[in-house]
Amino acid sequence: MIFGRPERGTTPVEPVTLKILVAGGFGVGKTTLVGAVSEIKPLRTEELLSEAGRPVDDTRGVETKNTTTVAMDFGRITLREDLVLYLFGTPGQDRFWFLWDELATGALGAVVLADTRRLEDCFAAVDYFERRAIPFVVGVNCFDGADRYPAETVRQALDLDASVPVVLCDARERETVKHVLIDVVEHAMAVAAAGRVPAST
Ligand SMILES: Nc1nc2c(ncn2[C@@H]2O[C@H](COP(=O)(O)OP(=O)(O)OP(=O)(O)O)[C@@H](O)[C@H]2O)c(=O)[nH]1
Ligand SMILES: [Mg+2]
């Protein structure tokens, strides 16, 4: 368990900083998630969805949405005094996919946000991280009015490996988002430890 209390009386250390991506389909709540947990004013690169973009901006399921991320979101959260996460939210729409490789460089792990009303929208993100062997967890963003499914059902629907954590969350709620981020870090550490060759062999 890496999130125990720091020992009293220990001298402060330079925090370890880790980069985490927040990915997923269009309008699934990535910008909302980064904004909910960031302790600095999040950097956002949002543009208004316009009449001109209507043919390519598929807002089914998020009809009240009027902006979209065109480059990235950026935020920061201190999980423990010696552990700081830098959060990079990706743009959700296919036409900005060329930015993903840039954003993924040096990432420890990722959150793939999913909306159970449009689960297929996160297939591409799941595929992206699987191909590059970047550890990820799936955060099911429980939108008001959306049917709730057990995590196992979502895992099967996405055909995820048994080791990939699936966590229910509300992208607007700091505490639930924090748990998702802790799961990413712990999962990434476990993956790294499993891949390490024991010194004695
Ligand atoms: N009810 C509810 N609404 C949410 C939740 N998360 C996001 N929203 C709303 O859903 C819409 C989409 O949220 P965004 O955070 O902009 O989604 P995004 O994934 O960043 O979208 P793109 O960058 O365009 O791909 C916004 O209107 C949010 O207010 C949630 O957990 N519950
Ligand atoms: Mg966004």
**Beta-carbon contacts of residue 157 (< 8 Å; ≥ 6 apart):** 119, 149
β-pairing, 67-80 vs 83-89, is antiparallel
Report CA 7 to chain centroid distance, whole Å: 30
Q: CB–CB of 63/23 below 8 Å?
A: no
d(CA 91, CA 94): 8
Distance 107 CA to ligand 1 centre (A): 23
pLDDT of 10 > 80? The answer is no
d(CA 140, CA 119): 9
**Cβ(121) – ligand 1 distance below 6 Å:** no
Atom of ligand 1 nearest to the CA of 171: 31
Query: Could you tell me which residues are beta bridge partners of residue 47?
Result: 68
Q: How confident is residue 96, by pLDDT bands cut at 50, 70 and 90?
A: confident
DSSP calls for 65-124: --EEEEEEEEEEEEEETTEEEEEEEPP-SGGGGGGHHHHHTT-SEEEEEE-GGGGGGGHH
pLDDT of 144 > 60? The answer is yes
Q: CB–CB of 87/178 below 8 Å?
A: no
**Cβ(92) – ligand 1 distance below 6 Å:** yes
Instruction: Please give the structure tokens belonging to residue 28.
Output: 């699934």
Distance 28 CA to ligand 2 centre (A): 8
pTM, two decimal places: 0.89
Mutation to probe ligand 1, out of 28, 30, 31, 32 (largest number of atoms < 8 A from CB): 32
pLDDT of 60 > 70? The answer is no
> Which ligand is closest in space to the CA of residue 26?
1
Atom of ligand 1 nearest to the CA of 64: 27
Q: CB–CB of 133/106 below 8 Å?
A: no
Domains of the chain: 16-195 (3.40.50.300)
- Lowest-pLDDT range of 45-59, 96-110, 150-164: 45-59
pLDDT of residue 201: 46
> Which ligand is closest in space to the CA of residue 62?
1
Half-sphere exposure of 140 (CA within 13 A, CB side): 24
The sign of the CA dihedral 153, 96, 41, 4 is positive
Q: CB–CB of 185/108 below 8 Å?
A: yes
d(CA 78, CA 16): 10
Distance 5 CA to ligand 2 centre (A): 33
Distance 53 CA to ligand 2 centre (A): 16
Which amino acid is located at 7 in the chain?
A: E
If you average pLDDT over residues 90-113, what whole number do you get? 92
**Cβ(69) – ligand 1 distance below 6 Å:** yes
